[in-house]
Each structure stands twice: as C-alpha cells, then as structure tokens.
Amino acid sequence: MSISIPVLDLRKFMPPDDVFHLQNDMRTSQWGVPYHTHRFAEVFWIFQGRARHHVNGTTVDLEAGNVVFIRPTDKHSLETMPQVPLGLVNIAFASKELSPLRRRYFKRDASWPWKEGPLPQVRQ
C-alpha cells in the first residue's frame, strides 16, 4: 500500500502575475507544515529559533542562520521545536526560473545551491 503525498501548487499561493511568493512568519510551538512535495523551488531561512526538517526520508535539525534550498522534487515537512518560537522567511518560485538563475549567477560554478543529491543544500 502506498501513501499519497500532497503536491502543492504555487498558483494557489500567489496571483498569476507574480513571479514569487514571500512568507515572513513568527511561529510558536505546535506549528508545522505537513509532509508534501511540489512543482516549484523554494528557499527558506530560519532567522530565529530551531526547527525539525523531515526531508527525503531523513530528519535534520535546523537552527537560526540556516538557509535551505528546496528543489521541486524534494519531499519534506517542517515542525517547530517545543517551547522555541520559530522565525522563518520562505521564498517560493516557479521551477522554470531555476535555469535562468543558474545561467546568470552560477555558470560553471560548483556552489549552485539547488544541485542534485539525496538532501537539499543547507547553508549557514
């Protein structure tokens, strides 16, 4: 028996003329984003507190200063840690924007943050 994982659609978060969705939140304990995948890329920054990131079958604890580069194929969820408020900025954008970003800023550069691998890149 396989479990269906929700696929998020960027157009449900933003108007058709927008090119990205920006979220800037402070969350308290007992908050989380359910396990999902999507057809868009995202980058999120923990600016305060800590979070537990369940991604591609692995659990990673994140802390203030971590920036995570989520690829369209990643499956993940995020939850707050008990008694620790979480400050989070998330930018989501269409997958088709990844190639122009790479050509413009990361041509022949190994530091491309959305590169292939078992887990998304986390930078401090």
Whole-number pLDDT of residue 99 = 93
DSSP E strand boundaries for 49-113: 50-55, 58-63, 67-70, 76-80, 86-94
Q: Where are the domains of the chain?
A: 15-96
pTM over 0.85: yes
- According to DSSP, the β-strands at 86-94 and 58-63 are unpaired
Residue 44 pLDDT level (bands cut at 50, 70, 90): very high
pLDDT for the residue 2: 58
| Domain at 15-96: CATH code | 2.60.120.10
Q: Read off the pLDDT of residues 85-103 as tens digits, 9 standing for 90 and up.
A: 999 999 999 999 999 999 9
